[in-house]
Amino acid sequence: MKKRIIVIGGGVAGMQTALRLAEQGIEPVIVEKEPELGGKLRGWHVLFPTFTPAEQVLTDLRRRINERGIEVMTSTEVVGLEPRSVALADGRRLTCDSVVLASGSTLFDASIKEEYGYGIYDNVFTSADLERMFNEGRVAKADGSAPRRIAFLHCVGSRDEKVCQQHCSKVCCVTGVKQAMEMKRLFPEADVFNFYMDIRMFGPGYEELYREAQQSYNIHFVRGRISEASPTLEGRVQIKAEDTLTGRPLRMSVDMLVLLIGMRANDDNARLADGAGLQRARSGFMAPRDLFLGNVASNVDGIFYAGTVTAPKTIGESLNEATAAADAAVRYVEA
Amino acid sequence: MKRRSWQEYQKEIADDHYYYARSCIRQNFFPGSEKAFIDILTNDLGKDLLDDPKHSSCTGIGYHSDIVPLETIMTVVARQFSLMNEAGYENFVTSCITSFGIYTEILATWHEFPETEEKTRENLFKATGREFRKPANVAHTSDVMFHFRDEIAARAKHRLVNAVTGEPLRVVEHIGCHYAKIFPKSGIGGSEFPYVLAGMIESWGGEVVDYPERRHCCGFGFRNYLVQANRGYSIANSHKKLESMAPYKPDFIVANCPGCAMFLDKWQYAIAEMEGTTYGQNGHGIPVLTYEEMAGLVLGYDPWALGIQMHQVDVEPLLDKMGIEYDPAAKYLGRNGKYIGKPESAVVNCCPTDTIYDIRE
């Protein structure tokens, strides 16, 4: 009889884990709380640094899941886990031989940073809103007109002790560069500014993208965080910042302010961790057993991690980690 | 204005029995405001309030100017609490924003660092032989006014609407920095979208103006003003706010801090004299009220009894808009009809514009 491994979460990490498990003769079951597979990627337009459509990646993963006949339980919420079973919100308990937790992370709620007026001023958006607008093919100010000046603000809900999010969300810097370039393509006449405290271009092709944004797209990068946003009489957004390279305060009005929101730990990580005896990092993300030799294993035998449940990661990293987590889980159940 | 977030910042405000701590400077700046607060609470709303002559300055101005050490101010604050205990009260209300910030900060410090509270108890006992219990509730007087805004609205003789057109008056509200910028949770609405004054304005029929520099400091900032060389910085801040709010054509400004109400009023005079620039719709200044004065006008108090003739910018255009009757001849008659003197005419008020001069000449 085949060994059965439950994969909690049907985002890219969960899907890739299940595929890898199935390839090795294991029976995976994906438990996803949303009505369909795809996770955060469902709301994304194109992926950095290659501008690959997110849908292309998702379509391929979904097709392979279907072809392999992998069991998928959607609209199903997990409320607890153990190495040999998973408890569901409807009271059922699924038994298994091991569990891979790939429940991902949560996008930071930008309205918590009240000074930026998200949810209050019409022309303040988040990076996730912008991706949705790209997907819908309608990127515009709230009144439908084209923006003439656009500002991106990095690190909203990342590296910010005031909102208890000390960690770097890693992917927002390059997302800001990518989205700025997409906006410039849509609105070539617009001035596009990126306000940052560091630009962390860690991945292959990222630094090149950052350079291209400046040299070919004439996107302005200002080292300084925006301190506050306010509405103007014309429906624009006035922002204040300090350009820390010139040491001067700066005030400008923009048509759109885009907040590059970070990734934070899921609220239910604490409950899941407490129930299963799992360790969490100070950031609230799950803590792997060892950051070098056991980064897909948890501190509990039989429970493994894949994707952003342990820390912010790119899509590529999540996919790679899913493969590693699946392999580790197979070794565990076949030992 | 989609100000939903203010509802997440609520605090407990006592319903009755207040120990009232006055401000050091407000009675000079707005001599009727504190009396109006006491009258509104005791006469109009029937609440119990003790105006205790024994309490002293909180020494907040000295503390923020680095001449009163932390241990000293903690001991002074402890003495105020001791006086409150002695009088049989436990709800402390303070008229000054700086004092409110001081009490909030010191209570938080004692909570976080209990050894500082112990040391304060020791110092107070050594200095005065007194002991103290911490208050059950600390509120600013604008919190209390906010708390009773609906009761005041129910008794309103006038509303914050233009009596001729029926349109709501457009009001700029300005919160003192020490009200919520130190501890956002201690202010109604937090620090970014404070609602304490906005709530009163909306309850009494007015419309809050949201303008780009709404959060900006008025420029008082102690060192900015107390150090004479820094006063240009002080006026620059008020200037920035006035420039930003003027296009919205506000009918008046209301503030809950002694310094803010004074500087937003007086610096309009200075700017008008220096540059000939005024910000009101009538070619003169924008009237500036305290929240007690605003409440007093709504409740039908006599404007001169509220002391608004002591403001730099004339408030009569606002009284006319609200349809409030007043006796122009009584403006400069103080208590018992005694003439209190009349200020020189100024550009910011209703006077000929040929009094403008260029300070550079």
Q: How confident is the model at residue B223 (pLDDT cuts 50, 70, 90)?
A: confident
Of A43-52, B22-31, B243-252, the range with the lowest mean pLDDT is B22-31
Q: Do B248 and A233 touch (CB under 8 A)?
A: yes
Tell me the C-alpha distance between A61 and B168, whole Å.
58
If one counts every other C-beta atom within 10 angstroms of the C-beta of residue B239, the result is 20
pLDDT for A65-83, tens place per residue? 999 999 999 999 999 999 9
| Distance (Å, whole) CA B308 – CA B252 | 13
Output the pLDDT for position B354: 43
Does residue A202 register a pLDDT over 80?
Answer: yes
To the nearest whole Å, the CA of A241 is away from the closest chain B CA by 13
Answer whether B212 sits within 8 Å of A119, measured CB to CB.
Answer: no
Least confident of B3-12, B18-27, B254-263: B3-12
Contact A233 B247 (CB under 8 A): yes
Indicate yes or no: CB of B210 within 8 angstroms of CB of A119. Answer: no
Mutation target for B interface from A109, A228, A236: give the one with most B CBs within 10 A: A228
Cα(B196)–Cα(B145) distance, rounded to whole angstroms? 9
Q: Looking at the whole model, is its pTM more than 0.80?
A: yes
Among residues of chain B, what percentage have pLDDT more than 90? 75
pLDDT digits (tens, 9 = 90+) for A294-311: 999 999 999 999 999 999
Element spanning B255, H or E: strand B252-255
Other CB atoms within 10 A of residue B11 CB: 13
B254-261 mean pLDDT: 94
pLDDT-based confidence at residue B359 (cuts at 50, 70, 90): very low
Whether the predicted pLDDT of B154 surpasses 90: yes
Give the residues across from A46 on adjacent strands.
A53
pLDDT (0 to 100) of residue B221 = 82
End-to-end CA distance of chain A: 15
Residue B356: pLDDT over 80: no
Contact B64, B35 (CB under 8 A): no
More confident residue, B334 or A88: A88
- Position B266 confidence tier, pLDDT thresholds 50, 70, 90: very high
**Matching residue, tokens 């392979």:** A64
| Cα atoms in the 13 Å half-sphere on the side-chain side of B2 | 10
Report residue B355's pLDDT band, with 50, 70 and 90 as the boundaries.
Answer: very low
Per-residue tokens: B162: 């233009």
User: Mean per-residue pLDDT for B85-89?
Assistant: 97
Q: Is the pLDDT of residue B68 over 60?
A: yes
Average pLDDT over residues A130-138: 96
CA dist., res. A306 & res. A317, Å (int)? 10
**Across residues B86-110, what is the average pLDDT?**
97
Instruction: Please tell me the predicted confidence (pLDDT) of residue B79.
Output: 98
Which chain A residues are Cβ-neighbours of B248 within 8 angstroms?
233
Per-residue burial over A180-193, b = 16 or more CB atoms within 10 Å of its CB, e = otherwise: bbbbbeebeebbbb
